[in-house]
Amino acid sequence: MLSAPSAVRIFAYALPTDMRKSFDGLHAIVTNEFTMDVLNGDYFVFFNRALDRCKILMWDRDGLVVLAKRLERGRFQRPLDVASGLSIEIDATTLSMILGGADLKTGQRRKARQQKRLEQCGREEFPEHLERRHISLYLD
């Protein structure tokens, strides 16, 4: 799990973001929409329209870092604060709750999907063009 130092400010983008964006695209949103500089060390959180993908952009001493999480089932809860405009400042606890699948209103953890173990998957579930050595990477 992600742990943020207490001095770090965390901002969530209020609008849906195209998750094909990476370092430069997310940095452009921070610069143009947030009117902030990512080099200050703050974390910037982005969600897609379906709320099943999340990216976090941050500066790590010598370069940009993009962390991504995709939910196989369910949705992230985007923090809502209409008065704050395009960016919503949240604390590290709220970010942990969002990434951990907790309901922001009740604080209760939502039901998690039981993961199907890759070892139980049959060969037919992998694309035919993959060789056995590639499949073993998924199973190890």
Q: CA 64 from chain center: how many Å?
A: 15
End-to-end CA distance of the chain: 22
Domain-by-domain residue ranges, the chain? 10-112
pLDDT for 57-77, tens place per residue? 999 889 999 999 998 888 888
Cα separation, 131 vs 135, whole angstroms: 7
pLDDT for 80-109, tens place per residue? 765 567 788 999 988 988 888 777 777 666
Cα separation, 54 vs 78, whole angstroms: 10
40 HSE (CA, 13 A, CB side): 15
Q: What is the pTM of this model?
A: 0.73
Candidates 2, 30, 37; CA nearest to 15 is: 30
